[in-house]
């Protein structure tokens, strides 16, 4: 066991290290988050995760030019590969985090099955062998090259890695792994950080990929220091609304690819199923001829996704009206309401306003502004929009409509899904419009309201 020389204070929120106790973390400003930890001399073996450490400087051009494709393990689950930028890179360390019960263990077991030609060591510190066996039979996992090891002790895990010599190691979860070498209690920040560092070192030296499962705490941050995110190569967040079957996997950091791409899954009775055509699925149940609803097109990485935004505006007897938004940024909603109020003379000051995006998606793009405005106008006037109309564009404070990126991709996706009218900014550059798609160009919210008025007369 390494000898604890002295203690330090680590913030449980941001991982900042302080030499003495403070009521408030000097780094993130959070109150009473400092926890006393022993300062441990790291074991020699875990000193550097870089396999070539100590070799000296090398000429970059002398490095062998290995094609990236041959270094990646393709999981045959395209939605997962897409989020990773094309599969798991050999020797890389991935941190997969998400709330309890979201489906992390389920997804990983399914990945084990789809990587059946690779040797995998699945280390579980949370479930027993029988529990995993039962889940595997439920999911139909029959891989011969999957080894399951239920253990919490770091040294025993290392021994099994040496014995099995796997291509991929899964540690479910990193918070349950501990070592006697570090004197703090299992699950503490020091244990999580040191055990992760050790496993990362093993992975880099051994050339096998590692997936560490990390729990998130109630604030949504990965429990344990933020440092963990700096140490790994890829950070994946597995997200989803409670009570909703859709699950989104999103890369927050990726040393081997873009962080824009997402993978979409649905939790079924036999595990996670991919959703290859998300827009179609999201629009399936949308009600027809109901005022206050308008489809918008978002870009999730390079993929356009059509989602429906719904607005409900109702008179309130109370002096301060309610503003509630789900899936739409609260400040963006307030801004659009203010623009409509000021530029179009619409009245919201005595109205409760609710905004919702179907399917638990989040509209974090300004391209949804026009759609939100259409939904609000339609609800206030109590006139349903045509089910085949879509709006793509940003709204500025003076009520002007601005163009957004990837307009062409958004409009072709909408055309594919059967939309026949697209409201866009007058500045939107389109080389060609898809067949049968009418492009309505508007300069301002005033022109938008006029166009929607015209629809009423039809």
Q: How far apart are CA 262 and CA 236, in angstroms?
A: 10
* Beta-carbon count within 10 A of 335 CB: 17
Query: Considering beta carbons, is residue 98 or 166 the nearer one to ligand TYD?
Result: 98
> Would you count residue 243 as binding ligand TYD (CB under 6 A)?
no
CB of residue 105 to Mg ion, shortest distance in Å: 3
Of 157, 167, 147, 137, the closest CA to residue 75 belongs to: 167
Contact 359, 282 (CB under 8 A): yes
DSSP codes, 415-447: HHTT--EEEEETT---S-PPTTPEEEEESBHHH
> Would you count residue 175 as binding ligand TYD (CB under 6 A)?
no
CA distances from 371 to 156, 175, 365, 422 (A): 56, 43, 11, 10
Query: Considering beta carbons, is residue 97 or 325 the nearer one to ligand TYD?
Result: 97
> Would you count residue 125 as binding ligand TYD (CB under 6 A)?
no
> Would you count residue 179 as binding Mg ion (CB under 5 A)?
no
Spell out, one character per residue from 134 to 153, where the chain touches ligand TYD: x when CB under 6 A holds, - when not. Answer: -x--xx--------------
Q: Return the sign of the alpha-carbon dihedral for residues 338, 344, 348, 349.
A: positive
Piece of the chain touching Mg ion by CB under 5 A; list 97-105, 229-237, 341-349, 393-401: 97-105
Give residue number: closest CB to Mg ion: 105
> Would you count residue 105 as binding ligand TYD (CB under 6 A)?
yes
DSSP codes, 176-210: G-B-TTS-SPTTSHHHHHHHHHHHHHHHHHHT-EE
Structure tokens belonging to residue 305: 């996704």
Q: How far apart are CA 228 and CA 363, in angstroms?
A: 29
> Would you count residue 124 as binding Mg ion (CB under 5 A)?
no
Contact 351, 257 (CB under 8 A): no
Query: Considering beta carbons, is residue 105 or 414 the nearer one to Mg ion?
Result: 105
Residue 100: contacted member of ligand TYD, Mg ion, none (CB under 5 to 8 Å, by partner type): ligand TYD
Of 453, 407, 454, the closest CA to residue 433 belongs to: 407
Residue 197: contacted member of Mg ion, ligand TYD, none (CB under 5 to 8 Å, by partner type): none
Spell out, one character per residue from 256 to 275, where the chain touches ligand TYD: x when CB under 6 A holds, - when not. Answer: -----------x-xxx----
Q: Which of residues 61-100 bind ligand TYD (CB under 6 A)?
A: 98, 100
> Would you count residue 105 as binding Mg ion (CB under 5 A)?
yes
> Would you count residue 444 as binding ligand TYD (CB under 6 A)?
no
CB of residue 107 to ligand TYD, shortest distance in Å: 7
Residue where the block lists tokens 């002007």: 400
Mapped onto helix, strand or coil, the DSSP state of residue 409 is: helix
Residue 440: contacted member of Mg ion, ligand TYD, none (CB under 5 to 8 Å, by partner type): none
Interaction site with ligand TYD (CB under 6 A): 98, 100-106, 135, 138-139, 267, 269-271
């Amino acid at each position: 066991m390494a000898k604890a020389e002295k203690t330090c204070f680590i913030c449980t929120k941001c991982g900042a290290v302080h030499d003495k106790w403070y009521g408030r973390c000097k780094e993130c400003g959070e109150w009473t988050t400092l926890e006393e930890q022993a300062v441990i001399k790291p074991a020699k073996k875990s000193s550097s995760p870089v396999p070539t450490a100590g070799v000296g400087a090398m000429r970059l051009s002398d490095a062998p030019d290995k094609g990236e494709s041959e270094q990646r393990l393709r999981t045959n689950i395209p939605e997962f590969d897409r989020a990773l930028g094309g599969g798991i890179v050999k020797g890389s360390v991935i941190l997969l985090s998400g709330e309890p019960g979201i489906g992390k263990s389920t997804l990983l077991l399914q990945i084990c099955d789809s990587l059946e030609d690779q040797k995998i060591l699945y280390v579980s510190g949370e479930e027993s062998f029988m529990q995993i066996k039962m889940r595997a039979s439920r999911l139909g996992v029959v891989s011969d090259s999957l080894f399951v090891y239920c253990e919490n002790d770091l040294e025993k895990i290392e021994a099994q890695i040496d014995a099995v010599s796997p291509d991929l190691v899964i540690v479910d979860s990193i918070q349950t792994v501990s070592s006697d070498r570090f004197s703090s209690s299992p699950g503490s920040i020091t244990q999580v950080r040191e055990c992760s560092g050790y496993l990362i070192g093993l992975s880099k030296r051994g050339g096998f990929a590692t997936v560490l499962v990390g729990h998130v705490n109630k604030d949504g941050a990965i429990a344990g220091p933020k440092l963990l995110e700096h140490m790994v190569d890829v950070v994946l967040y597995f997200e989803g609304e409670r009570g909703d079957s859709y699950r989104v996997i999103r890369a927050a950091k990726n040393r081997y690819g873009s962080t824009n791409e997402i993978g979409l899954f649905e939790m079924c009775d036999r595990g996670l199923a991919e959703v290859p055509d998300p827009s179609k699925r999201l629009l399936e149940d949308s009600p027809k001829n109901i005022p206050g609803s308008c489809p918008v097109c978002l870009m999730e990485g390079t993929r356009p996704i059509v989602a429906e935004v719904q607005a409900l505006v109702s008179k309130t007897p109370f002096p301060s009206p309610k503003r509630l938004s789900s899936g739409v940024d609260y400040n963006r909603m307030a801004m659009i309401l203010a623009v409509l109020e000021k530029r179009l003379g619409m009245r919201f000051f005595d109205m409760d306003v609710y905004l919702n995006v179907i399917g638990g998606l989040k509209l974090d793009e300004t391209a949804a502004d026009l759609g939100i405005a259409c939904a609000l106008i339609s609800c206030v006037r109590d006139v349903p929009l045509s089910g085949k109309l879509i709006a793509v564009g940003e709204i500025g404070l003076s009520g002007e409509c601005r163009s957004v990126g990837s307009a062409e991709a958004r409009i072709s996706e909408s055309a594919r899904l059967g939309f026949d009218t697209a409201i866009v900014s007058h500045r939107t550059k389109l080389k060609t419009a898809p067949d049968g798609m009418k492009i309505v160009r508007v300069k301002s919210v005033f022109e938008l309201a006029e166009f929607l008025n015209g629809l009423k007369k039809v």
